[in-house]
């Protein structure tokens, strides 16, 4: 797909049971230049619409739907190979971490908090467009030879990150579901970059970072942490342990590309 430079090039599937809210979002989208907008009221209708046509489509969904929650909708999408890469934006006033965590771990592009304005919605859409059509001017000379280790207990999150890396031309990707598995891989395999989650069983991201910096023969490898962790004390401890950069979940594809570039440059 050619790089998307205008929201008019996007096809938006809006999943919203409230006609008043749907009309409000449609007006915002129209004002921002998005013209191809389909509206459905349920998760089942959204899945049916996506199965019929999903190329170039971005899903904007409310959290509370008549049949499934928005969190369940995105997980159902990620479970189907044809739909797992469709960008997903959640719109919700929900703030409880335990409710939003499935969306953060699913590889969602953005969570837009209610009430929101056109600029916030526009930024989320451009982030989705960036995911659909990565920049074509990336210098692939060095990137294609990179060996990357992905460490995350969420399969959906690992798949999301793998897709982004593969779009950059990176093919040498290893995976681990926690820090303990990562340590075993690092003992026998040379890598150029570690991308890890924070919260994982067995050994978390902070412990993995501390191990790499103090005990591994690859102590200087760049470490990028991609996490939904909100506790500032824990994140500060991670930075002290020697992580190269931290990126929040959900993340924008452009942010990951920039952080990878910066980490490798350092």
pLDDT per residue over 21-62, tens digit each?
Answer: 999 999 999 888 888 899 999 999 999 999 999 988 999 999
Alpha helices in the chain (DSSP H): 19-31, 43-52, 70-78, 97-105, 118-132, 140-143, 155-167, 179-188, 205-214, 232-241, 253-265
**Are 179 and 207 spatial neighbours (Cβ–Cβ below 8 Å)?**
yes
CA of residue 43 relative to chain centroid, distance: 21
More confident residue, 257 or 40: 40
Fold of the 140-265 domain: Rossmann fold (3.40.50)
Q: Given this model, what pLDDT does residue 261 score?
A: 72
Identify the residue with better confidence: 140 or 205: 205
Query: What's the mean per-residue pLDDT of the chain?
Result: 84
Per the model's pLDDT, the better-predicted residue between 254 and 211 turns out to be 211
Average pLDDT of 156-181? 88
Please give the pLDDT value at position 24. 92
Helix 70-78 / helix 97-105 crossing angle, nearest 10 deg: 20
Give the pLDDT band of residue 2 (cuts 50, 70, 90): very low
How far apart CA 1 and CA 200 sit, in angstroms, is 35
**Contact in structure between 178 and 157 (CB atoms under 8 Å):** no
More reliable by pLDDT, 140 or 117? 117
Report which of 124, 104, 113, 99 is spatially closest to residue 228, judged by C-alpha positions.
Answer: 104
User: Torsions phi, psi of 236, nearest 5?
Assistant: -65, -40
Query: Any residues with CB less than 8 A from the CB of 147 and at least 6 apart, and which?
Result: 172, 174, 189, 190, 191, 192, 193
Cα angle value 12/13/16 (rounded, 5°): 125
pLDDT > 70 in the chain, percent: 90
Structure tokens at 20: 């008043």
Q: What is the CATH number of domain 7-132?
A: 3.40.50.2300
For position 142, what pLDDT does the model report?
Answer: 62
Residue 39: enclosing H or E segment and its boundaries? Answer: strand 36-40
Distance CA 182, CA 152 (A): 10
Q: For the chain, give every residue range classified as CATH 3.40.50.2300.
A: 7-132, 140-265
Q: Is the pLDDT of residue 220 over 70?
A: yes
Read off the pLDDT of each residue in 237-254 and give the average, rounded to a whole number: 78
Query: What is the pTM (predicted TM-score) of this model?
Result: 0.67
Residue with tokens 């910066």: 262
Residue 135, pLDDT above cutoff 70: no
pLDDT of residue 230: 72
Count CB atoms within 10 A of the CB of residue 75.
Answer: 17
Least confident among 4-8, 38-42, 64-68, 233-237: 4-8
């Amino acid at each position: 797909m050619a790089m998307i430079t205008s929201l008019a090039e996007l096809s938006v599937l809006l999943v919203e049971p409230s006609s008043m809210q749907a009309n409000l979002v449609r007006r915002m989208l129209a004002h921002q230049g998005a013209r191809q907008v389909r509206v459905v009221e349920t998760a089942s209708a959204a899945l049916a619409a996506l199965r019929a046509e999903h190329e170039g489509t971005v899903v904007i969904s409310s959290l509370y739907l008549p049949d499934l929650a928005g969190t369940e909708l995105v997980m159902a999408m990620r479970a189907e190979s044809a739909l797992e890469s469709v960008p997903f934006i959640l719109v919700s006033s929900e703030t409880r971490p335990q409710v939003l965590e499935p969306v953060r771990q699913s590889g969602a592009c953005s969570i837009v908090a209610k009430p929101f304005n056109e600029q916030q919605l526009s930024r989320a859409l451009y982030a989705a467009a960036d995911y659909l059509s990565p920049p074509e001017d990336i210098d692939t000379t060095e990137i294609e030879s990179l060996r990357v280790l992905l460490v995350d207990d969420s399969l959906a999150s690992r798949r999301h990150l793998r897709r982004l890396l593969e779009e950059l031309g990176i093919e040498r990707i290893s995976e681990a579901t926690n820090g303990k598995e990562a340590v075993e891989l690092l003992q026998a395999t040379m890598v150029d970059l570690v991308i890890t989650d924070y919260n994982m069983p067995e050994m978390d991201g902070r412990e993995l970072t501390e191990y790499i910096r103090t005990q591994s023969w690859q102590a200087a490898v760049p470490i990028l942490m991609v996490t939904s962790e909100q506790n500032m004390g824990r994140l500060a401890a991670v930075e002290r342990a020697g992580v190269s950069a931290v990126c929040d979940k959900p993340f924008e594809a452009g942010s990951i590309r920039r952080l990878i570039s910066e980490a490798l440059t350092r």
